[in-house]
Amino acid sequence: MSYPRTIQPLIIEDQSDAKDYYEAVLDSSVKNGTVAPPRFAFSYEEGSRLLGENTIYHLVILDLRLPEAPGRPESSALDFGLSLLD
């Protein structure tokens, strides 16, 4: 596997308005080719799956209060987010 030349971001966030914000912030960098389009995960399960793939991420933004699975309410504890740090 070769090392990607553009910054590869992964954003693990369950709020759709935050997704829109991150896309807007990164838009000019994506257009000029310095940043790849961000990949998104919306739960612990999705984040765990993406982090387990054979992909190099230069930047990971992690919401610690994640739901366990897509479509579920966010957790009041930080357990799911913190477990992804391992």
Q: What is the DSSP letter of 37?
A: P
**DSSP strand E in the chain: where?**
9-12, 39-41, 59-62
Model pLDDT, residue 86: 77
Find, among 23, 5, 6, the residue nearest to 61 by Cα: 23
Determine the 3-state secondary structure of 13 from DSSP. Answer: coil
pLDDT tens over the chain, length 86 residues: 667 789 999 999 988 889 999 999 999 999 999 999 999 999 999 999 999 999 999 999 999 888 888 777 777 778 888 889 87
Q: How many CB atoms lie within 10 A of CB 57?
A: 18
User: What dihedral angle (degrees, nearest 10) is formed by the CA atoms of 75, 77, 83, 85?
Assistant: 100
